[in-house]
Amino acid sequence: MTRSFYPPQRTLMGPGPSDVSPRVLGALSRPTIGHLDPVFIRLMDEIKALLQFALQTENELTLPVSAPGSAGMETCFVNLVCPGDKVIVCQNGVFGGRMRENVERCGGIAVMVEDAWGEPVDPEKVRAAFAAHPDAAILAFVHAETSTGVRSDAATLCAIARENGALSIVDCVTSLGGIEVSVDLWGADAVYSGTQKCLSCVPGISPVTFSPMAVERIAARQHKVQSWFLDMQLVMGYWGGSAKRAYHHTAPVNNLYALHESLVMLEEEGLEAAFARHALNHRALVAGLEAMGLSMAVAAEHRLVQLNSVVIPEGVDDAAVRAALLNDFDLEIGAGLGALAGKTWRIGLMGHASCERNVMHCLNALEAVLAGQGARVASGLAAARAAYER
Amino acid sequence: MTRSFYPPQRTLMGPGPSDVSPRVLGALSRPTIGHLDPVFIRLMDEIKALLQFALQTENELTLPVSAPGSAGMETCFVNLVCPGDKVIVCQNGVFGGRMRENVERCGGIAVMVEDAWGEPVDPEKVRAAFAAHPDAAILAFVHAETSTGVRSDAATLCAIARENGALSIVDCVTSLGGIEVSVDLWGADAVYSGTQKCLSCVPGISPVTFSPMAVERIAARQHKVQSWFLDMQLVMGYWGGSAKRAYHHTAPVNNLYALHESLVMLEEEGLEAAFARHALNHRALVAGLEAMGLSMAVAAEHRLVQLNSVVIPEGVDDAAVRAALLNDFDLEIGAGLGALAGKTWRIGLMGHASCERNVMHCLNALEAVLAGQGARVASGLAAARAAYER
C-alpha cells in the first residue's frame, strides 16, 4: 500500500515555484464547487478584474489559462501565428528558444535575434531585423529571462514592433508582481505569465492578456487555431463577458481560488509597494553576496530584482552545494540552465518569498555550506543587515 | 478592495467536478516544494505506479498531463495523428465531436461513425467503417460519454481497431475509478482521463497512458508534434524513467499532491470495491427515481453507474429546478448538453460523491423541488432505502 505524502517544508528561493503564502494554500483547499456555478462565475469576473489590475491593462481579453506558463506561451503563439507568418524572436536565454519552437510548430518562420545569455535584448538588433524583414508580423521577446536573471526593455521593444506594423508577444512569466508590467503603457499585444513566481501562487495556471489589435487578428484568422484546448475563440465563450457562459473545459476550480487570493494580496499591498519590497530585498541579498566575495552574473542595470544570478566560485562543486542547502537547510536555490549550467546559481526572491527572513536565511546557509566545502568566504550578514537600516 | 473568496459548501452531483474528499483537499494545501526536488521526483514515481494500477496497465508511458481532460484528449491526438492520417471517430455525444475537432486541427481526416445521443457506439458500424477505409490508422471513441451517461464496449472496439491494424484512442475521463478501465486487457493504445470525476480529485489534471505500439508510432514521427507543451517526447524527459529528469515545464505541484492522495484512497479501497460501491449507489438512485415516476434516459444495459441521465418530465422547468436545488439545497446536478439540452438531467454519483447520503439527499431535494413546482411526484426514498438492505 502506498502511503500519503507529506512534503518537507522547504524555503523556495529558486526560479519558481516560490514560497506560497499560507493564505493562498488556505484558499486552495476550500471546498470545490462546479465550474458553471453562478458563484464561481462571479469569482471568474473578479479574477479577470484583478488580472487587469496586476497587468495594468484594460484589455477585455484577460484571463488565466488552465495550465502552466508554457501553455500560456503556446496560447499566444497558436492564436496569433498562422502558417507562413514571419515572427522576429529575440533569444537571450532558454525561453527565446522555446518561442522559436512555438513559431515553427505553428508553421511560422522564426527570424532569430540573438544576444548573449546574461545580456538583455538589444533594441538595435531588433530594429535591424525589422529593416531586413519588413514583412515580419510579430515580435516576440522575454521581459524577464528566468534562465539568466536579465530584464529587457519591454516598452522600447513593444514600441519598435508597433512602429513596424507588427504585434508583440511578451513573456512576463517571472516579472508579473515583482517589477513593473504595464501592458497598456507598453502597447504590448499578447502577454503571458505564470502564477508560481512573483504572484506566489501554486504552479499550474498562466494569466494571459490580448490587446484589441491582437483580438482583431485572431478574429480575422482564416486558418483554425491548431490547439482546440487553447483556442481563444472557444475559451472566450467560457471566460467572456456574456451572461451565458458556454462550457469549454472544466476550469481548475481550486487553483483559481488560490490565484484569486494571491491577487487579492497583491491588491492589498499595492503594486508600487510590492515592487519596492522586491527591490529592497534584492539590494540586501546582493550586498550580502558581494560582501561574501561572490560576484553577480548580470550587470547591475539589467538585473532582475526577483531572480539573482550568482557566479559559482572557481573550484566549488555546484551540485554538492545545492544538495547541502536542500538537505541541511531545507533551502532550494536554482541551478544554471542551458549555457549557464554549472556556471551560475539562481537565487529567487519572488512574491511572498521576497522577505528579509529569506535573505538572511540564504546568506547564512550559503556561508555555512561554502565554508563546509573549504571555500574561503567572508560573512555577508552584516552587509545585508545594513541594507535594511531605515 | 476585493475580498477573499469563501465558496458555499455544495454537494456536487453533476457531471464533474465531483465532491472532493477532505483528505484530498488536505493534501492539496500542503507546502509547495520545487518540481525538481528529489522528494518530488519520488512522488512522481509513486503517482506513475498508482496510475498504472488505476488504469490496469503496465505501460511505461503513464503520467498525468498538467492540464484538464481536454488537454489530455489533445495530448493523445497531437502525438499520434500526423497530417493526412485517417482517423475513424465514433460520435454518440459531445466528446466524439471534440475528437473530430482534434483530428482535423492535426491535419488528419476524420471518418465519422455516428450513433444517436443516448446510445452506445455500434461495433458493426465501426467494422463497416474499417471495411470502407482500410487505410484508417486510428480508431477513437469515448468509453463513458459524459454528455449522455452511456457506456460503450471498449474491449470490443479496441479489438476491432487491432484487427484492422489501427491504434485506438479511448476517452476514459468519466470512467476511471468508477467502472472497469482495463487498458492492457482491452489492448487500448492511448487513453486519457480526468481527475475531477470518479477519482474525486480537484479538476486540472489529465492522466494519460500510451501502449508500446503507440510509443513506437510517436518515436517514428517525421512531423514534429504541433504542441510543444503536450509533446510526449519532451514530457517524457521530465516524467521518464531516467534518473536525471530534464526540466520541461513547471509541474502543478500541489495538484499532484492531491492526485496522489486520491489514488492512495482508491488503492486502499480496491478497484473492485470502488466499482461495487458505484454500482450499488446507482441502483439505489435509479430505484428512487423510478419510484418517483421519473424515467431514465438510457437503456439499463448501457447506463453509466456514475452518471445517471434522467428524462425531465413534461411541463417541468429545467432551469428553475436546477436553480432551486442549488439555492435551497446546495445541490448541483447537471443540465443536458448539446442535443439533450432541456431534455435530461445528469446526476453524478462519482468517486467520493457516490455514497448513500448523497443518494438520499438528491432524492429528497428533487422531490421537494418538483412538488414545489406543482409536479405530481411520489417519494423515492423508501425504494432507494430498500436497495441498500443487506
The pLDDT tens digits for A141-197 are 999 999 999 999 999 999 999 999 999 999 999 999 999 999 999 999 999 999 999
Query: Do residue B37 and residue A10 have CB atoms under 8 angstroms apart?
Result: yes
The pairing of strands B167-171 and B138-142 is parallel
A389 to chain B, minimum CA–CA distance in Å? 31
For residue B203, give the nearest of A105, A251, A261 by CB distance. A251
CA distance B338 to B309: 14
Q: Does A202 touch chain B (CB under 8 A)?
A: yes
Please, which pLDDT band fits residue B244 given cuts at 50, 70 and 90? low
Grid cell for residue B169:
484512442
Going from the N-terminus, what domains does chain B have, and what CATH number goes with each?
A: 22-267 (3.40.640.10), 271-387 (3.90.1150.10)
Identify all chain B residues contacting A225, using CB atoms and an 8 Å cutoff: 105
For residue B227, give the nearest of A74, A202, A204 by CB distance. A74
Question: Cα dist. B312→A377, B15, B370, B378 in Å?
Answer: 76, 16, 11, 15
| Phi then psi dihedrals of residue B167, to 5 deg | -85, 160
Please, are residues A208 and A80 in contact by the beta-carbon 8 Å criterion? Answer: no
Query: Do residue A29 and residue B31 have CB atoms under 8 angstroms apart?
Result: no
Tell me if residue A206 falls in helix, strand or coil.
strand
Query: Do residue B204 and residue A34 have CB atoms under 8 angstroms apart?
Result: no
Going by C-alpha positions, the residue among B198, B153, B190 that lies closest to residue B170 is B190
Residue of B nearest to A49 (CA): B2
| Predicted local confidence at residue A153, as pLDDT | 98
In the numeric block, the cell 512569466 is attached to: A173
Angle at which helix A253-269 crosses helix A38-55, to 10 degrees, equals 40
Please, which pLDDT band fits residue B241 given cuts at 50, 70 and 90? low
Mean pLDDT by runs of 10 across the 390 residues of chain A is 97 97 97 95 96 98 97 98 98 96 98 97 98 98 97 98 98 98 98 97 98 96 96 89 76 97 98 98 98 97 98 95 98 93 97 97 98 92 93
Q: For chain B, what is the largest distance between any 2 Cα atoms, rounded to a whole number of angstroms?
A: 66
Angle at which helix B253-269 crosses helix B271-292, to 10 degrees, equals 90
| Predicted local confidence at residue B242, as pLDDT | 57
For residue A332, give the nearest of B37, B71, B268 by CB distance. B37
Identify all chain B residues contacting A33, using CB atoms and an 8 Å cutoff: 7-8, 10, 12, 17, 332
Query: Do residue A34 and residue B17 have CB atoms under 8 angstroms apart?
Result: yes
CA distance B231 to A7: 29
Is the C-alpha dihedral spanning A318, A323, A329, A335 positive or negative?
positive
CA distance B177 to B194: 10
Question: Which chain A residues in 112-151 lie under 8 Å from chain B, judged by CB atoms?
Answer: none
The pairing of strands A190-192 and A11-13 is unpaired
Going by C-alpha positions, the residue among B27, B48, B98, B40 that lies closest to residue B69 is B98
Please, which pLDDT band fits residue B234 given cuts at 50, 70 and 90? very high
Pick the residue of A4, A94, A101 with the most B CBs within 10 A to test the interface with B by mutation: A4
Taking the model in full, what pTM does it have?
0.97
Question: Which chain A residues in 57-96 lie under 8 Å from chain B, judged by CB atoms?
Answer: 66-71, 73-74
| Phi then psi dihedrals of residue B351, to 5 deg | 55, -130
Identify all chain A residues contacting B68, using CB atoms and an 8 Å cutoff: 66-67, 229, 249-252
Please, are residues A305 and A348 in contact by the beta-carbon 8 Å criterion? Answer: no
Please, are residues A257 and A30 in contact by the beta-carbon 8 Å criterion? Answer: yes
For residue A250, give the nearest of B3, B68, B267 by CB distance. B68
Q: Which residues pair with A111 in a beta bridge?
A: A88
A284 to chain B, minimum CA–CA distance in Å? 24
Tell me if residue B283 falls in helix, strand or coil.
helix
Please, are residues A232 and A220 in contact by the beta-carbon 8 Å criterion? Answer: no
Helices (H), A294-378: 318-329, 356-372
> Other C-beta atoms within 10 Å of A279: how many?
16
Q: Which residues, 6 or more positions from A99, have their beta carbon under 8 angstroms from its beta carbon?
A: A73, A77, A89, A91, A110, A140, A142, A169, A171
For residue A105, give the nearest of B66, B105, B227 by CB distance. B227
Identify all chain B residues contacting A4, using CB atoms and an 8 Å cutoff: 23, 27, 260-261, 264
Assess whether pLDDT exceeds 90 at residue B59.
yes
Digit-coded pLDDT (tens) for A254-278: 999 999 999 999 999 999 999 999 9
Helices (H), chain A: 22-28, 38-55, 69-80, 94-105, 123-132, 154-163, 183-186, 212-219, 232-239, 253-269, 271-292, 318-329, 356-372, 381-387
Give the pLDDT mean for B238-265: 88
Please, are residues A69 and A207 in contact by the beta-carbon 8 Å criterion? Answer: no
Across the A:B interface, residue pairs with CB atoms under 8 Å apart total: 260
Identify all chain B residues contacting A227, using CB atoms and an 8 Å cutoff: 74, 105, 226-227
B31 to chain A, minimum CA–CA distance in Å? 6
| Predicted local confidence at residue B223, as pLDDT | 94
CA distance B204 to A253: 8
The pairing of strands A190-192 and A167-171 is parallel
| Phi then psi dihedrals of residue A20, to 5 deg | -100, 135
Q: Does B257 touch chain A (CB under 8 A)?
A: yes
Q: Which residues, 6 or more positions from B134, have their beta carbon under 8 angstroms from its beta carbon?
A: B164
Report the amino acid identity of residue B263: L
Query: Do residue A35 and residue B12 have CB atoms under 8 angstroms apart?
Result: no
Going by C-alpha positions, the residue among B168, B187, B382, B354 that lies closest to residue B291 is B382
Q: Give percent above pLDDT 90 in chain B.
A: 94
Q: What angle do CA B186, B192, B197 make, to 5 degrees?
A: 105
Q: Which residues, 6 or more positions from B300, have their beta carbon under 8 angstroms from its beta carbon?
A: none
Digit-coded pLDDT (tens) for B39-48: 999 999 999 9
Query: Do residue B19 and residue A32 have CB atoms under 8 angstroms apart?
Result: yes
Grid cell for residue A238:
467560457
Residue B297 half-sphere exposure, CB side, CA atoms within 13 Å? 28
Q: Which residues pair with A113 in a beta bridge?
A: A90
| Predicted local confidence at residue A243, as pLDDT | 56
| Predicted local confidence at residue B318, as pLDDT | 97
Q: For chain A, what is the largest distance between any 2 Cα atoms, rounded to a whole number of angstroms?
A: 66
Assess whether pLDDT exceeds 70 at residue B28.
yes
Question: Which chain B residues in 169-198 lie under 8 Å from chain A, judged by CB atoms?
Answer: 194, 196
Question: Which chain A residues in 16-55 lie under 8 Å from chain B, judged by CB atoms?
Answer: 16-17, 19-20, 23, 25-35, 37-40, 43, 46, 49-50
| Predicted local confidence at residue A237, as pLDDT | 84
Please tell me the total number of residues recorded for chain B in this structure.
390
CA distance A362 to A136: 45
- Mean of per-residue pLDDT scores for chain B: 96
Identify all chain A residues contacting B246, using CB atoms and an 8 Å cutoff: none
Q: Does A374 touch chain B (CB under 8 A)?
A: no
| Predicted local confidence at residue A339, as pLDDT | 85
Query: Do residue B40 and residue A7 have CB atoms under 8 angstroms apart?
Result: yes
Q: Does B222 touch chain A (CB under 8 A)?
A: no
Q: Which residues pair with B110 in a beta bridge?
A: B87
Residue of B nearest to A11 (CA): B33
Please, which pLDDT band fits residue B289 given cuts at 50, 70 and 90? very high
Query: Do residue A28 and residue B28 have CB atoms under 8 angstroms apart?
Result: yes
